[in-house]
């Protein structure tokens, strides 16, 4: 019983510290965030912060890692046929981002750490790109360049979608991304 109470308290502490950091990242870059500011927002003392994290960068890194692991777990539960895979996987990725919109929007904005965008690109590449390449029969020597182009463009579409308060459904955005990936800008 005592361990359960401690675990709940630990989870709560980490949650409010993460919430505090997210609130600060909405207005300033991680390099300008201090432990003192996070602790004030979380109503936690500094020693408690340091019992969980080394510094704001460590907190951010652990938050990003949790999101990436969660995203991988979420996407790994789906198994589609080749024909439906790229659209459905894109839609599932967007549904995941939709479910975590506040944190994803904050981590992908200009105040977030660019490593998160790179990590999201790696996840997208793992789940989406190979099928796009198979569908479009790209030559192996062009794979890397096409992959970077498609994923970078997709991430920017997602960032634009987040910035526009997700004004379209995940399915609509998935259709746009897949159409561009498969057909370029052709009508």
User: pTM, whole model, 2 decimals?
Assistant: 0.80
Contact 21, 33 (CB under 8 A): yes
Tell me the DSSP string of 105-146.
HHHHSTTS-HHHHHHHHHHHIIIIIHHHHHHHT--HHHHHHH
Structure tokens, 154? 């997709």
- Cβ within 8 Å of residue 20, ≥6 positions away: 37, 38, 39, 40, 41, 42
CA–CA separation, 60 vs 78, rounded Å?
28
Q: Supply the pLDDT for residue 130.
A: 57
Q: Supply the pLDDT for residue 169.
A: 95
Chain segment 126-185, per-residue pLDDT in tens: 776 655 555 555 555 666 777 788 888 888 999 999 999 999 999 999 999 888 877 776
> In terms of residues, how long is the chain?
187
Structure tokens, 85? 């895979």
Contact 39, 46 (CB under 8 A): yes
């Amino acid at each position: 019983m005592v361990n359960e109470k401690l675990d709940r308290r630990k989870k709560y502490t980490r949650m409010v510290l993460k919430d505090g950091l997210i609130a600060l990242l909405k207005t300033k870059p991680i390099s300008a965030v201090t432990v003192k500011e996070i602790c004030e927002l979380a109503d936690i003392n500094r020693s408690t912060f340091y019992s969980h994290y080394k510094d704001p960068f460590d907190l951010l890194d652990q938050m990003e890692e949790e999101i990436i692991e969660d995203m991988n777990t979420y996407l790994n539960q789906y198994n589609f046929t080749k024909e439906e895979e790229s659209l459905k996987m894109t839609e599932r990725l967007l549904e995941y981002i939709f479910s975590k919109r506040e944190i994803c929007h904050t981590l992908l904005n200009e105040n977030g750490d660019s490593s998160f965008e790179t990590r999201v690109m790696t996840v997208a590449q793992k789940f989406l790109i190979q099928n796009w390449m198979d569908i479009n029969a790209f030559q192996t020597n062009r794979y890397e360049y096409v992959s970077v182009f498609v994923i970078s463009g997709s991430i920017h579409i997602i960032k634009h979608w987040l910035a526009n308060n997700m004004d379209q459904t995940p399915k609509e955005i998935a259709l746009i991304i897949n159409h561009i990936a498969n057909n370029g800008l052709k009508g």
